[in-house]
Amino acid sequence: MDLTQNEWISQLKADTKAVIIDVRTDEEWNEGFIPGAIQNDIYKGQGFIYRLEELDSSKNYYVYCKAGGRSAQACSIMNQMGFKNAYNLSGGFMNWEGEVAFPE
């Protein structure tokens, strides 16, 4: 399900079972990420799937990439794998106006 940035932020704040997933590459991740996100690069193919399999499918996943395309694809894959709640950030990180963290 696609959410606008405002919907994403307000729903995330009220969600006690929320997990944020960044599906961008290492290079993109190093340019900054949404605080609390875990990185799982969708371009890693089977490695991406293996990391998804380690997650608790009963939680709610907030997924983003740079512009919203890869994260929409990731949400679709997650739904096929039995994840009931995967939310895509419309417009992605390049339109993100919230807080940004950087790798140590």
Q: Respond yes or no: is residue 65 known to be catalytic.
A: yes
Active site residue: 9, 23, 65, 72, which one? 65
Radius of gyration in angstroms for the set of CA atoms belonging to the chain, rounded to a whole number: 12
Instruction: Starting at the earlier edge strand, list the strands of the sheet with 2-3.
Output: 2-3, 85-89, 60-64, 18-22, 38-39
CB atoms within 10 A of CB 40: 20
E-assigned strands of the chain? Answer: 2-3, 18-22, 38-39, 60-64, 85-89
Separation of alpha carbons 26 and 12, rounded Å: 24
Catalytic residues: 65
